[in-house]
Amino acid sequence: MKLTILRLTTLSAQDRIDLAKIWPNEDIAALENSLSDTRRLYAARFNARLLGALKLEIAGTLGKISQLEVREVTRRRGVGRYLMEETLAQNGAISSWWVADDGSADQGERAAFMQACGFRAQADGWVK
């Protein structure tokens, strides 16, 4: 089965289980209730399971990405990069991107990942 990147607007029971593994400290019910046209959730699905996810907030032509996370057992296989690339591609109306430095990953790894995705460092995150 192919890895697919999709925008989630409602969550299945399995999606809730998978998101709890991706973000163990997240209130998944509150997250689902907060989803809207400007507050989006994108996820990488493989074999009916979510392997990674990110949050996208849209303000005009600015896209703010936060909490980009891939399940540890799946890291270093291109899931995060594909998730990032497809999220940007699926939101072509956004001309300016900002990714929060939320401290959720090793900073050296995060910096290398963000640079590989074409972002440049700022004081509190990355821009493109």
- For 13-37, what is each residue's pLDDT tens digit? 999 999 999 999 999 999 999 999 9
* Helix and strand totals (H; E) in the chain: 4, 7
Q: Place 113 in a pLDDT band, splitting at 50, 70 and 90.
A: confident
d(CA 29, CA 11): 9
pTM of structure: 0.90
